[in-house]
Amino acid sequence: MKPVKIGILGLGTVGCGTINVLARNGQEIARRAGREIKIVQASARDLKKKRPCPTEGIRLVADPFEIVRNAEVEVVVELIGGYDPARSLVLEAIANGKHVITANKALIAVHGNEIFAAAQKRGVMVAFEAAVAGGIPIIKTMREGLTGNRIEWLAGIINGTSNFILTEMRDRGRDFAAVLAEAQRLGYAEADPAFDVDGIDAAHKLTILAAIAFGIPLQFKQAYIEGISRITRADVQYAEELGYRIKQLAIARRTDGGVELRVHPTLIPQRRIVANVDGVMNAVLVKGDAVGPVLLYGAGAGAEPTASAVVADLVDVVRTLTVDPTNRVPHLAFQPDALSDLPILPMERVETSYYLRLHALDRPGVLADITRILGDLGISIEAILQKEPAEGENVVPIIILTHRVVERNMNEAISRIEQLASIKGSVARIRLEHLNRDWK
Ligand code: NDP
Ligand code: HSE
């Protein structure tokens, strides 16, 4: 059979990783796909740059639009990243009848509804396994392996860079900026690393997972997003003393009022497997009503782990090239005309437990004032830790863990506590989840 001809847009970390994996495992991959996969064209901005992958036999071009307009190319692999020109390239490839594979979560989370509608109309596939959790086959697992379940919630560490930073801060006491620079050098970080540390990248991925889990449209703008830059080494240490780890968690949960869609640093009990997912590794815990909790773990970023997911999509596309489009697995797991309009809950209505860190004057009655405010708002305390004041200071750090309470009440409590004359500075708040089966 004739080889399937593909064009790759972008020869960076993932583009080159994909070429290397296809070069090394080409024969094995062809045996699986049923046809050889041949890269005929690839693009990069700087054609003079030396690439860590073999490009002999591939026509290199500076203009990626040449590839999406090349009649010879059947499958376009978009590995440029960002919103534009990626969106225009993908839409033009679809309009030209080409199947598309992308690792671009920003593109899918923000423009996915438009892209999938265009692909549906044109009868082509858009595959995006590499867009979420790097090499972990989470999209395929949720879209195909768990179709018998009503998904209740999912929680994941889905940004390798921020997990790498938090791990290095905890284990080696390293400085935030130095670890971020290393993540950039290793090719883990986004072109704009603020996407990683501010939680935007994780929210892009969560948006995709939530759509697949609950059969809702992609709604990135509704996600609550908080990054890791306000986490201090002291918070990491206090959390450890109380038996918890701080992880940047992405959570989607179905509740009676709607769907929770949130990304924020979270205390997790140390005994949970997810609390022990370190470095650039990712993990996604999905709770289905029939199967119970399922945990997937693996490399969340990096050239070849991500290429592993890109190539899996390529094989899927090649295998289904001749399948009637109406019989293919729907892009977002549910048939496009069967999506639900479940609302996304505003953060004020989300219920979680909390870790609070505050600094109080070391004098009698302070704790009583704080606990009164919490009690008045129906917030019950799970643990309190009062630390020694630093040398020569009379301000003591107080750490409080609370039971579950709706965020609106916690906002009010924090505002009242900050108004106490005995409290210095603002109250630091980190949400806490036990991640037990029934989300209690
Ligand atoms: P890189 O920055 O390493 O590579 C991007 C490539 O696209 C480069 O070859 C670059 O050319 C080219 N490019 C950049 N901007 C333009 C533009 N405006 N027009 C044309 N070409 C352009 O990115 P990655 O390989 O790291 O990421 C690619 C995609 O994969 C992104 O969507 C990213 O989010 C996603 N991803 C990345 C992972 C990772 O671990 N790196 C993991 C999972 C997903 P040149 O080389 O000449 O500069
Ligand atoms: N910047 C992303 C991360 C790449 O660190 O997880 C993988 O999507």
In this model, does residue 316 exceed pLDDT 90?
yes
143-201 tens-digit pLDDT: 999 999 999 999 999 999 999 999 998 999 898 999 999 999 999 999 999 999 999 99
193 lines ligand 1 (CB under 6 A): no
Are the beta carbons of 402 and 417 closer than 8 angstroms? Answer: no
pLDDT mean across residues, the chain: 96
Query: Which residues does 299 contact at the CB level (< 8 Å), separation at least 6?
Result: 134, 135, 136, 160, 280, 281, 282, 305
Proximal ligand: closest to the CA of 81:
1
pTM: 0.97
Distance 303 CA to ligand 1 centre (A): 11
13 lines ligand 1 (CB under 6 A): yes
Strands 258-269 and 37-43: unpaired
Residues 61-87: what's their mean pLDDT?
A: 98
| Paired tokens of 237 | 């240490």
Are the beta carbons of 131 and 102 closer than 8 angstroms? Answer: yes
134 lines ligand 1 (CB under 6 A): yes
Quickly tell me which residue has 């769907």 as its tokens: 259
In this model, does residue 394 exceed pLDDT 90?
no
Query: Which residues does 378 contact at the CB level (< 8 Å), separation at least 6?
Result: 405, 409
> Residue 195, Cα to own-chain centre: how many angstroms?
11
Residues 344-365: what's their mean pLDDT?
A: 96
Proximal ligand: closest to the CA of 158:
2
CA distance 379 to 405: 6
CA distance 133 to 126: 18
Say whether 104 sits in a helix, a strand or coil: coil
Give me the pLDDT at residue 391, please: 81
In this model, does residue 390 exceed pLDDT 90?
no
| Paired tokens of 201 | 């990248």
Say whether 116 sits in a helix, a strand or coil: helix
Are the beta carbons of 120 and 95 closer than 8 angstroms? Answer: no
In this model, does residue 322 exceed pLDDT 90?
no
Quickly tell me which residue has 């302070």 as its tokens: 366
Lowest-confidence segment of 60-69, 111-120, 320-329, 371-380 by average pLDDT: 320-329
Say whether 346 sits in a helix, a strand or coil: coil
Q: Which atom of ligand 1 is nearest to the CA of 104?
A: 32
- Domains of the chain and CATH, by start: 4-135+303-338 (3.40.50.720), 138-299 (3.30.360.10), 351-432 (3.30.70.260)
What are the start-end ranges of the H helices in 44-85? 64-68
CA distance 68 to 64: 7
Burial of 35 (0-12, 13-18, 19+ CB in 10 A): middle
Are the beta carbons of 370 and 339 closer than 8 angstroms? Answer: no
Q: pLDDT band at residue 125, thresholds of 50, 70 and 90?
A: very high
Ligand 2: lining residues by beta carbon, under 6 Å: 134, 159-161, 188-190, 196, 201, 300-301
Q: What percentage of the chain reaches a pLDDT higher than 90? A: 94
Are the beta carbons of 57 and 40 closer than 8 angstroms? Answer: no
- Which residue's CA lies nearest to atom 4 of ligand 2? 301
Report the DSSP beta bridge partners of residue 5. 38
Say whether 293 sits in a helix, a strand or coil: strand
Distance 5 CA to ligand 2 centre (A): 28
In this model, does residue 24 exceed pLDDT 90?
yes
Give me the pLDDT at residue 363, please: 87
What count of other Cβ atoms lies within 10 Å of the Cβ of residue 104?
27
What count of other Cβ atoms lies within 10 Å of the Cβ of residue 404?
16
What's the angle, vertex CA 221, arms to CA 218 and CA 223, rounded to 5?
A: 85
Closest CA to 205 of 138, 260, 253: 138
CA distance 359 to 362: 9
Residues 262-266: what's their mean pLDDT?
A: 98
